[in-house]
Amino acid sequence: MKVVAALEPRTTAEVVDAVRSHDRLVVRGGCTKPALSTATDSAVAVDIAGLTGIVEYDPNEFTVTALAGTRVSEVTGLLAANGQYLPFDPPFVAAGATLGGSVASGLSGPNRYRFGGVRDFIIGVRLVDGRGDEVRGGGKVVKNAAGFDLPKLMVGSMGRLGIMTEITFKVFPAPKAWRTLTVAMQGIDDALETIMRLGSLPLDLEAVELTPTATLNVRIGGLEETLEARIQRLERAIGRGDGRALSGDVEQAFWKELREFRWLPDEHKLVKVPVTPTRVTPLHERLDRAGATVRYGVGANVAWVAWPGEMQELDRLLSALELPGLVLIGPPESPRIGHVAGRSFAARIKSVLDPARRFSEV
Amino acid sequence: MSSHGLLDALRELYPRTRLLEERAALVPYESDGLASFRMRPLAVVLPETQQEVIDTVRLCHREDVPFLARGSGTSLSGGSMPVAGGLVIALNRLNRIKRLDPRQRLAVVEPGVINLDVSRAAAPYGLHYAPDPSSQSICTIGGNVAFNSGGAHCLKYGMTANHVLGLTAVLPDGEVVELGGESLEQAGPDLVGFFCGNEGLFGIVLEITLRLLPLPERYKTVLAAYHDLEAAGNAVARVIALGLLPSAMEIMDRLALDAAEKAVRAEYPPGAQALLIVELEGESEVVEAELARLTTAIGDSGAYEVRVAASPEERALIWKGRKSAFSAVGRLSPNYLVQDGVVPRGRLGEALRGIERLSRRYGVAVANVFHAGDGNLHPLILFDAREAGAIERAESLAGDILRLCIELGGSITGEHGVGVEKREYLADMFSAVDIEMFKALRLAIDPKELSNRGKMFPPETTVDSRPASRSGETDGSAPAGQPRSR
């Protein structure tokens, strides 16, 4: 790998200039998902960490607009001071993730269970596409149906359709207080059954995560006076009787550990695998046999795989199960592994936004 | 383009009962919910299988004939008005719920499935499909996907796109693609999200995977009556400041209330100049605790009467009045136009004053019904098409309202889409470069611009630059601007 100095644009005009004057580019923000932001071959890195600042925030509007290089922590701090939050719960916040990187990687955290992921909260975007044109999609109001949904297209685009310069999110009032119930289950199948059962009960759950080995962690939030009764009700619904309720700083720290992936063992790659509850069992058996450590998030809709081996091996494993994968920490050459849906449709879009292939394939 | 070639091929593909060519049979397909725009299609086909839809699209592509997919025709922006000389592919018979997976909270449906039927099928499992356009008892999921439909409850749960996990579609050149999947999460660009809201310009959805949500355990619907509209608007700000997240916040003004009252006898408080409806939903303990705070805030907001629905029947009645407001307004006036602009919530008061000013200046009555929680206005512009120049005045007023929304930092459409009706205004919201990019995306997906040609983009920028005529090619016999009765 050849090391080339990174470009550090501080304005949109400089981003336009960077795109127009280079043949091969890789965008990077906080570099917390290095498999998506490391330059390979002859590509030049464009570092957007200097493109920073809150552009617009009025708590009454439930929206926040900021430049793409703004650290997520700056936004969540500002929101928290006003009793609001990003309900999609972006990961790697303490590690320095930027808004642009969070959208481009398409990552959401545990609290995504309640109201939705980054795709559900991005409402506007400005970007410099691969032609060097500054374009815009969506807007700054919470509801908008004009034009094609470019903001959603940016989610998971890995910076390979253009360089986002400004992003608008819908935000929500944050729960005033939180509690978490942690329960040891009798194996993964028992845990999955419970997750599916909880899913159809009329309970307002903020997060439902499964940690090794077969520990179910369920988070609730809201007005303090409601939490005790709700935790008891949740305990009855799970029906194990030996749960542990977390609150206060301990509770916050527990979720931060998950969100920041501090549990990732040394020398392991990190791969996101979208899945559904009934497809977890065969996946888990194979991953377990290969010595991987796995956490299942969002009610078993995503597997966060800490992979000890070669990437090709996991690629084959996922392909055999027709599951997709996204490498976040690991070799940067081809971050999308396993089953890839909609490739030809993506190619049509790529041919418009980046016809000269300045960025890698999506 | 060869319409003869297409018709010959379609006669091979479809039995006579499912290929409509007779003029009388085509009339119902000439317009949609925006009945003032009409166009007679070349023909209508009624496919019963996904393969028939695919074959039909491929034939249209081969013969260079434009086409349009249609569900129940409830579009309020002319989105499902036929394309001149084009084929209408009516999807109502593709109405199977192919799979209901309550354990994983999924439903896999065909595009002709009625929105409310998804919730009905899911109800025995304690689940529902959240997006609820006012037309939910007749509109189809295919149309909801094409226009990213909203509803009264999208403040909390989002629009259609937020509930679509995967889809299969036939692109306008005949390629069949599968986007997304069954998981709530994805790897790679959110192609399924991008596909939603394409206004029929990217082809036809054949199968859609929807996410279902648990039915809320408790609803609390609060109704507050005010002596003036602005006080109702200010109450919304108070509720927001509490840090609550109601699932819906709706306002109706005097004219809309009168209409709803006459139409469905919703028993709203008499004498109200404005009515605010706020709904909380969720776990019982949560809703009860939030309700106490909500009623206090609303009590302090100048409401002269506050009611909390005491039963599901009372709740249903409150919503019946609200959801019937559009059709009810038809009783006040022979014709009306519905607008769909959005403004930042904090500028609602300004927007309403602006609309009132415009209404006076034009001498045209405007009734207001709106999703106050997300700043989505629905001014209903009342007119009588029999009066000379009345349609033009109404359209001009509608245009001024849209420009006002843009000036206030909002959007020309919150949930109805651009369609035919607002295509001239797209350029007020987006730059020429943005629109060129949208057009290039469209061309990459539909190189011949066959699918729903003439929608979304300003007329001079599309292949078919003929303006949609109000009487179209129907020799003007249809009454212009007649609201549908539903």
Residue pair B468/B81 in contact (Cβ under 8 Å)? The answer is yes
Q: For an interface test with B, which of A200, A218, A227, A315 has the most B Cβ atoms less than 10 Å from its Cβ?
A: A200
Q: What share of chain B is helix, strand, coil (3-state, %, to 5)?
A: 40, 20, 40
Q: How far apart are CA B281 and CA A357, in angstroms?
A: 48
What residues in A contact B192, CB-CB < 8 Å? 342
Quote the ipTM score. Answer: 0.97
CB-based burial label for B256 (10 Å; 0-12, 13-18, 19+): buried
The token pair that represents B330 in the structure block: 């038809």
> Which token pair is B378?
């629905």
Q: Report the 3 state secondary structure along A117-168.
A: CHHHHEEEEEEEECCCCEEEEECCCCCCCCCCCHHHHHCCCCCCCEEEEEEE
Q: Do B411 and A139 touch (CB under 8 A)?
A: yes
Count of other CB atoms within 10 angstroms of residue B2: 12
Burial class (CB in 10 A: 0-12, 13-18, 19+), A13: exposed
Q: Where are the beta strands (DSSP E) in B26-96?
A: 43-45, 67-70, 87-90
- The alpha carbon of residue A21 is apart from the nearest alpha carbon of chain B, in Å, by 20
Question: Which amino acid, residue B128?
Answer: H
A129/B437 CB distance under 8 A: yes
Place of tokens 């199968």: B207
Strand partners, B369: B252, B378
Q: Which is it for the CA torsion A7, A11, A13, A19, positive or negative? A: positive
Taking CB atoms and an 8 Å cutoff, what residues of chain B touch A349? 189, 191, 194, 441, 444
Please say whether the beta carbons of B133 and B150 come within 8 A: yes
**DSSP, res B468:** P
Q: How far apart (Å, rounded) are the C-alpha atoms in residues B102 and B122?
A: 7
Taking only Cα atoms into account, the Rg of chain A, rounded to an integer number of angstroms, comes to 21
Within 8 A by CB and 6+ apart from B268, the residues are B223, B225, B257, B260, B261, B275, B321
pTM to 2 decimals?
0.94
Q: Do B190 and A155 touch (CB under 8 A)?
A: yes
C-alpha to C-alpha distance for A230 and A236, rounded to whole angstroms: 10
- pLDDT tens profile A214-270: 999 999 999 999 999 999 999 999 998 789 999 999 999 999 999 999 999 999 999
At B428, which helix (H) or strand (E)?
A: helix B426-429
Short-list B30, B33, B133, B139, CA closest to B481: B33
Which H or E run includes A84? strand A84-85
Non-local (6+) Cβ contacts of A236 within 8 A are none
Best of A133, A225, A276 to disrupt the B interface by mutation (most B CBs within 10 Å)? A276
d(CA A147, CA B430): 9
What is the full per-residue pLDDT of chain B (486 aa) written as tens digits?
Answer: 689 999 999 999 999 999 999 999 999 999 998 887 899 999 999 999 999 999 999 999 999 999 999 999 999 899 999 998 999 999 999 999 999 999 999 999 999 999 999 999 999 999 999 999 989 999 999 999 999 999 888 889 999 999 999 999 999 999 999 999 999 999 999 999 999 999 999 999 999 999 999 999 999 999 999 999 989 988 998 898 899 999 999 999 999 999 888 888 888 999 999 999 999 999 999 999 999 999 999 999 999 999 999 999 999 999 988 888 888 887 888 989 889 999 998 898 899 999 999 999 999 999 999 999 999 999 999 999 999 999 999 999 999 999 999 999 999 999 999 999 899 999 999 999 999 999 999 999 999 999 999 999 988 654 443 344 443 333 333 333 333 332
CA A274 to chain B, closest CA, distance in angstroms equals 5
Average pLDDT score over chain A: 96
